[in-house]
Amino acid sequence: MTQSNFDIVDSTLLAPTGLDGVKLQQVMDKLTGVAGCDFADLYFQYAKQESWSLDEGTVKSGSFNIDQGVGLRSVCGEKTAFAYSENLQHEAIMGAADVVQAIGRRGQDIGTKAAWRPRRPRSVYQPHDPVATLDDAAKVAILHQADQFARAHDPRVKEVMATLAAVYEVVLVVRSDGQQVPDVRPLVRLNVSVIVEQDGKRERGSMGGGGRFDFAYFDTDLIRHYSEEAVRQALVSLQAVDSPAGTMPVVLGSGWPGILLHEAVGHGLEGDFNRKGTSAFAGRLGEQVASPLCTVVDNGTLPDRRGSLSIDDEGNTTQDTVLIEAGILKGYMQDEHNARLMDMPLTGNGRRESFAHLPMPRMTNTYMHAGEHDPGEIIASVKKGLYAVNFGGGQVDITSGKFVFSSSEAYLIENGKITQPVKGATLIGSGPEAMQTISMVGNDMALDSGVGVCGKEGQSVPVGVGQPTLKMDQLTVGGVQL
């Protein structure tokens, strides 16, 4: 690293408009001048995004977006006042601070003039600018490679759609306790989606991945893998029969099926829902909420992962947080606001979509630790059930705990053997109940390939999931075949 994150923050966000410690203090004084202010922060963000898309063998479109701004927040007890400015001139930021002050009632300054404390957290990724580090022709070439690999893999491939996207973000969190914490965040993603056709039947398959890298991550082997995997999934779907309907044992594959944990327990363990008592897990710390085979963590510190962060969006260092240990509920994911109100430890889970959004407790990489069983053994233990290995998306009702997730690749298990592929079955259950029915956990823990996006209250953030192969004794499978 030749340039420190502070140098990058300074040259990108502060120096162009002459923002310095004195000017930042003037803004902070306004925010902390709101009556009863417990905490205030400024979130400076520069975000550059680029994407290229291919279909019909041609990269037909590309787009480039650049945004910058600062979000200003003042928190008083349970109340939050928030405004933002896309203009980083001192006068504009002072204007936004006036708005925050007008929202909160102006009162006695909390008077704690902490000296600025620049903090240099350990970084869990390199400060790449993926947009700048590869020329456009080479980006286009990646998509053409993906197209060619898919078409060469099987003549039934009729259409290939591929997207290559990169984000480069420079962030500075300035807090009322004096901390100033920078971060420089790269994020790249390649997605390949194919349409296959045979005997008048059409199906789709998709595969992709990425992380906090530059584009060098997508080497030829990986591009080929995404393309061939998308084709394989589509061809499996062509052969699939109607899914069974009803309650049965379900074996979930390793990796991306960890979306189960994200929906069934993850959201329900975010601090805000538990502070308000609106989560099915509220008030259940120390209770058995999953089978003793389950240890579930949220870990923002994994190097280069899509869901990882060096610091969260409130400047707190991310952690490896145990949520469920041997089935016992151990902790929630917290941001500043909810940790303070619940008098619980910070976990570095305060995240926001951008400077124009308020932070809240969000997941990073959520996964289950490996167990003891060989995956083959787990499948062999099922007389009649479903083996689901790929999923589209999921959703949860935090309050009732009911979650669903929709399989895009699943098979029947009959007498301990994988037999027919079945068409998109939706799985539905109740988080706290379904987790209790996990009776076998594999030794093949894997993380997803790096494509997850989580939505909450209208804000999207990149996340990761993972799990070993696992068996749930009873889960409702929403197919059409009774």
Chain residues 419-478 in contact with other proteins, contact rule CB under 8 A: 423-426, 428-430, 432, 476-478
> Is 239 a binder of other proteins (CB under 8 A)?
no
In degrees and rounded to multiples of 5, residue 13 shows phi and psi of -105, -40
> Is 150 a binder of other proteins (CB under 8 A)?
no
> Is 79 a binder of other proteins (CB under 8 A)?
yes
Range in contact with other proteins (rule: CB under 8 A) among 7-15, 54-62, 315-323, 365-373: 54-62
| Side-chain half-sphere exposure of 88, counting CA atoms within 13 A | 23
Range in contact with other proteins (rule: CB under 8 A) among 29-37, 78-86, 180-188, 215-223: 78-86
Range in contact with other proteins (rule: CB under 8 A) among 174-182, 202-210, 309-317, 461-469: 202-210
CA distance 43 to 274: 25
> Is 406 a binder of other proteins (CB under 8 A)?
yes
Which of 20, 64, 177, 220 is in the footprint of other proteins by CB under 8 A?
Answer: 64
Instruction: Return the closest-CA partner of residue 362 out of 334, 340, 394.
Output: 334
CA distance 310 to 312: 7
Taking CB under 8 A as the criterion, which residues in 345-374 touch other proteins? 356, 358
Q: At 395, list the tokens.
A: 């959703």
Which of 28, 59, 261, 463 is in the footprint of other proteins by CB under 8 A?
Answer: 59
CB closer to other proteins, 40 vs 378: 40
Q: At 199, list the tokens.
A: 């005997």
Q: How far apart are the first and last CA of the chain?
A: 60
Q: Is 288 exposed, middle or buried (0-12, 13-18, 19+ CB in 10 A)?
A: middle
CA distance 131 to 51: 9
> Is 67 a binder of other proteins (CB under 8 A)?
yes
Q: Cβ neighbours of residue 400 under 8 Å, at least 6 residues apart?
A: 280, 430
Taking CB under 8 A as the criterion, which residues in 262-281 touch other proteins? 276-278, 280
Q: At 215, list the tokens.
A: 């584009």
Range in contact with other proteins (rule: CB under 8 A) among 80-88, 113-121, 169-177, 303-311: 80-88
> Is 481 a binder of other proteins (CB under 8 A)?
yes
- CB 200: neighbour CB atoms within 10 A? 5
> Is 204 a binder of other proteins (CB under 8 A)?
yes
CA distance 276 to 282: 8
> Is 286 a binder of other proteins (CB under 8 A)?
no
Min dist. Cβ of residue 52 to other proteins (A): 8
> Is 136 a binder of other proteins (CB under 8 A)?
yes
Instruction: Return the closest-CA partner of residue 315 out of 352, 344, 343.
Output: 352
Q: Is 359 exposed, middle or buried (0-12, 13-18, 19+ CB in 10 A)?
A: buried
By 3-state DSSP, what share of the chain in percent is helix, strand and coil, each rounded to 5? 25, 40, 35
Binding mask 157-176 for other proteins (x = CB under 8 A): -xx-x---------------
Min dist. Cβ of residue 279 to other proteins (A): 9
Which of 37, 396, 412, 470 is in the footprint of other proteins by CB under 8 A?
Answer: 396
> Is 285 a binder of other proteins (CB under 8 A)?
no
Range in contact with other proteins (rule: CB under 8 A) among 108-116, 133-141, 213-221, 370-378: 133-141
* DSSP result, 108-139: ------PPPEE-----SS----TTTSS-HHHH
Binding mask 9-48 for other proteins (x = CB under 8 A): ----------------------------------------
> Is 218 a binder of other proteins (CB under 8 A)?
no
Q: Is residue 272 within 8 Å of residue 392, measured between CB atoms?
A: no
Q: Is residue 435 within 8 Å of residue 264, measured between CB atoms?
A: yes
Instruction: Return the closest-CA partner of residue 467 out of 281, 320, 298, 285.
Output: 298
Range in contact with other proteins (rule: CB under 8 A) among 23-31, 171-179, 303-311, 401-409: 401-409
Binding mask 298-337 for other proteins (x = CB under 8 A): ----------------------------------------
Which of 32, 68, 123, 310 is in the footprint of other proteins by CB under 8 A?
Answer: 68
> Is 86 a binder of other proteins (CB under 8 A)?
yes
> Is 140 a binder of other proteins (CB under 8 A)?
yes
DSSP state of 8: H
Range in contact with other proteins (rule: CB under 8 A) among 28-36, 155-163, 166-174, 345-353: 155-163
CA distances in angstroms from 210 to 64, 121, 218, 304, listed in the order given = 19, 24, 8, 9
